[in-house]
Structure 1
Amino acid sequence: MKKGKAPSSRRAEIQHLYQCYTSEQTILPACALLRFLHKEQMELTANEEMAESLIDRYEIEETARESRSMTFEGFLRYMESKDCCVFDQAHTSVYQYMGQPLTNYFISSSHNTYLTGDQLVGKSHLDAYVCALRKGCRCLEIDCWDGPDMEPVVYHGYTLTTKIFFKDVVATVEQHAFEVSAYPVILSLENHCSKEQQEVMAQYLISILGEKLLRTPLDHHTTGGLPSPNKKKEAVAEALSDLVVYTRSVKFISFSHSKDNQNYYENTSMAEKKARKLAKASGVDFVQHNQKFLSRIYPAGSRTSSSNYNPQEFWNVGSQLVALNFQSLGLPMDLNDGCFQDNGGCGYVLKPAVLMSSHFDPGCSKHGHKTTHLLLKVISGSNLPISRSGKALDPFVRVEMHGIASDSCRKNTHTVKNNSLSPYWDADMNFSISVPELCLIRFSVREQTGLLSSEFVGQYTLPFTSLKKGYRWVPLRSRDGCSLDPASLFVFVWYS
């Protein structure tokens, strides 16, 4: 069969699988379905009961259901269901232990949360807070300045960005803070206000947030360390000294200075350039610093268009609050969405054990434990969006690994000409990953527009630890993270 000239792609692939397991029969009995689950899907805990429950869920033909069997239509329905998604469905709810100190989690964090555009003339808008919170963001930034009539305002100082009232921001946060996640929200206040207006801010925080504002240390928390995200639905303020309980910002001087002088409730904020330099020069120290303290990384001031850095480089050293411009779409936000899709999208993801060890160096390519070998077969695509001109695409798939530097790489399939409906690649890709628990995988569908040029069509990003083995489909998302359903990829995943 010529590549690119598939039988109507995924359906034919699934038909072929179905026939392999029905052997001589015309229908798939529960025991054969169980064999498929064990052998192809690596659902090793599956038993007869589970196979029968899949028949009950996906088979609509009465006689097949009664004989505990599956027709091809039922099998197809199962293969295209959430049960066969590449993302482990057990990870769509909170499954990690939420009782560890805050330092042990990556926390979804936003920079200049109020902006909907660039940092010079962009609009400040309450909707930006709503959007970030609905994406599971748990650390919001509020830049506060003196406003008219003793009303503090929020905007990007010394620029032409528009202003919004501080009290409206706090009210918006109060309203939406716990819509998608029950875990604490950290308010990072960049405070440029006079004493008088700071008092106004404090009053608004107390009166608007009420019981939701954490104002005193959690009484049952006396171990002299940070509390866990489990403790309470609360907003934790990061400024206005009397209201700060757990996240007071201090200037970073050096790792040894922090070790000797920093209190557990103090955190350090630094710009990406400084953080990058420290990560390169002393990765081990940075990892150890982040075992004890919270650190917040934010984009360089020179990023006037609100572009983002790659967050992976700072997750690699265990920084918890890796703050991005949520309004800026592209690879960094795709990685952020992919990372925080895990653990039920609650905005807190437990750092892997390797970041809790005393000697881990993300800059080093050899890491004692065995390398993981990943085989990804990109089989076909289905219902890809057509190009702006209304013509079918010339699509290819790029698979990217984002982890420690030595694990990061990308591979492309060949390009299929003029086929958006059912492009067929059947491309094998092999990857060697030394620290899989820090790895994100990004499937990116692109359109070949010239010899060396291509354009974004759709993508999907997930943590390696949420990757399911076997024949799986990959849901695609648009540039702004919205579902492109029914557009998807069909892949086979194996790793050891």
Structure 2
Amino acid sequence: MKRNKPPTSRRTEIQHLYECYASGQTTLPACDLVRFLHEKQMELTANQETAESLIDRYEIEETARESRSMTFEGFLRYMESKDCCVFDQTHRSVYQDMDQPLSSYFISTSHNTYLTGDQLVGKSHLYAYVCALRKGCRCLEIDCWDGSDMEPVVYHGHTLTTKILFRDVIKTVEQHAFEVSAFPVILSLENHCSQEQQEVMAQYLISILGEKLLRAPLDHLTTGDLPSPNKEVVVAKALSDLVIYTKSVKFFSFSYSKDNQTCYENTSTAEKKAHKLARASGADFVRHNQKFLSRIYPAAFRTSSSNYNPQEFWNVGSQLVALNFQSLGLPMDLNNGRFQDNGGCGYTLKPAVLMSSETSFDPGCNQHSKATRLLLKVISGSNLPVPRSGKALDPFVRVEINGIASEPRKKNTHTVKNNSLTPHWDTDMNFNISVPELCLVRFCVRDQTGFLSSDFVGQYTLPFSSLKKGYRWVPLLSRDGCSLDPASLFVFVWYS
């Protein structure tokens, strides 16, 4: 009778790595730990001091610590620590140059920020602003209408969405604007108010925000460029006397903008028109966004508050790619993935390919520089969350590449039957990535429920530029972006 092979746990896989480098010794000496860091983890700057600091951090057995070596248990603690996360931990802090003009950054941007549901009968709520700000959002939308008793209200006009007071929105912004990020918040005011209530709005902005409100140009503005984000301020995009840098203007054409638009003016464009511009004039769109801010917002037909894929508009350098933060799924996973970079501050520096004045970049053109080859080995999973039914999953992993349109989109592992605890795939995947500095990598675990059907289990998205080489674990997040710890994947990453 054939016996079933026992499932391989991550612990077993890590033990195999440990034994390869310990070479029969009872512990792993610091010099062999350095060899492992160089050969497998591609930590090429690691030295004896690096290894000894890891021993001090993760080894608790006193004899091993004294001999500057690591037991298997210490090695396991290290391999399951943040030092071995697939996301580069140095990117958890603000590390990018924050002294460039605002047009040089992608800026986390919310559409109809006040809504918690759809755009016809959904609720407006102050907590929606709190949630967006706590996710690092730096551009909030406030749709303003005349209210009773000279109190402007915020809601989706001409619909049955509920109303909240403008003054309460501004109080909420004042309280939470800089909780997770010290960088500027832009208020995108869609103004439908009478002159009288506009004056009320202006007074609330001034009295509630106080010194946090930018009311005059910054002193160092001498180059004809937008200021850098290195200032803890709130910037209003409406009410003429309070508009300093982000006055909204109508878009006519790229040539018109070049000849007539000033640096402190920005355009707002619906996704359908922006899509046509990106396809027909990608290089012109990129050049436009080197100097001016452009905001892209979801089409009017998205009454359920669904989202478009933001990657297309990041590819042409649009800074303010607005999404419905309350709507979960791939677009928000990509947004959260992109903006976890640079310390989660809501600003990430656009790559050089989008900012060079010497070369012309068109994301729709296949003639890009030599591709980067990405090898991913999806090895195993651990502690995957089971559905409410309690039935074990039939999991598989889908790896998706989100970059320029010509790149391969996704590849799947095989399905492992009836194993939520320790599924093992050991599947190699190869991708050729034309413009890695624009690319996002998404790991998605799914439960095979039928021949062509599957359910979402968990995902994790990160910029290619934050992807660490070597043996790494991938934390998994729920549909609403919350940690599913201890659920994770174990992978090997290599690229050239």
TM-based fold match above 0.5: yes
Give the Cα–Cα distance (whole angstroms) in 2 for the partners of residues 387 and 114 of structure 1.
32
Q: 1:440-464 CA distances to partner (integer Å, 9 max, x unpaired)?
A: 0000000000000001000000000
Q: 1:47-93 CA distances to partner (integer Å, 9 max, x unpaired)?
A: 10010000000000000100101000000000000000000000000
User: What's 1:328 paired with?
Assistant: 327
CA spacing shift, 1:205–1:5, aligned 2, 3 Å? farther
Instruction: Check if 1:220 corresponds to 2:220.
Output: yes
Give the Cα–Cα distance (whole angstroms) in 2 for the partners of residues 192 and 408 of structure 1.
44
The SS at the match of 1:456 is strand
Give the Cα–Cα distance (whole angstroms) in 2 for the partners of residues 152 and 59 of structure 1.
61
Residue 408 of structure 1: how far off its partner (Å): 4.4
CA spacing shift, 1:104–1:425, aligned 2, 3 Å? same
User: Does the 8 Å contact 1:58/1:78 carry over to 2?
Assistant: yes
Gaps of 5+ in 2: none
User: What's 2:406 paired with?
Assistant: 406
The equivalences for 1:139-288 within 5 A come to: 139-230=139-230, 232-288=231-287
Give the Cα–Cα distance (whole angstroms) in 1 for the partners of residues 346 and 85 of structure 2.
22
Give the Cα–Cα distance (whole angstroms) in 1 for the partners of residues 296 and 313 of structure 2.
8
Give the Cα–Cα distance (whole angstroms) in 1 for the partners of residues 312 and 400 of structure 2.
15
Instruction: Check if 1:311 corresponds to 2:310.
Output: yes
User: What's 1:106 paired with?
Assistant: 106
Give the Cα–Cα distance (whole angstroms) in 2 for the partners of residues 408 and 134 of structure 1.
33
The SS at the match of 2:431 is strand
Give the Cα–Cα distance (whole angstroms) in 2 for the partners of residues 66 and 366 of structure 1.
56
The SS at the match of 1:445 is strand
User: What's 1:359 paired with?
Assistant: 360
The SS at the match of 2:20 is helix
Give the Cα–Cα distance (whole angstroms) in 1 for the partners of residues 5 and 41 of structure 2.
26
Percent of matched pairs sharing the same residue: 84
Greater CA deviation, 221-230 or 328-337? 221-230
User: Does the 8 Å contact 2:408/2:432 carry over to 1?
Assistant: no
User: Does the 8 Å contact 2:102/2:229 carry over to 1?
Assistant: yes
User: What's 1:51 paired with?
Assistant: 51
Equivalent residue letter for 2:281? S
User: Does the 8 Å contact 1:145/1:191 carry over to 2?
Assistant: yes
Give the Cα–Cα distance (whole angstroms) in 1 for the partners of residues 24 and 458 of structure 2.
40
TM-score (norm 2): 0.98
TM-score (norm 1): 0.98
CA spacing shift, 1:5–1:297, aligned 2, 3 Å? farther
User: Does the 8 Å contact 1:5/1:424 carry over to 2?
Assistant: no
The SS at the match of 1:160 is coil
Give the Cα–Cα distance (whole angstroms) in 1 for the partners of residues 39 and 103 of structure 2.
40
The Cα RMSD (Å) is 1.0
The SS at the match of 1:12 is helix
User: What's 1:17 paired with?
Assistant: 17
CA spacing shift, 1:415–1:97, aligned 2, 3 Å? same
Residue 284 of structure 1: how far off its partner (Å): 0.5
The SS at the match of 1:373 is strand
Give the Cα–Cα distance (whole angstroms) in 2 for the partners of residues 338 and 275 of structure 1.
23
Give the Cα–Cα distance (whole angstroms) in 1 for the partners of residues 255 and 86 of structure 2.
43
The SS at the match of 1:229 is coil
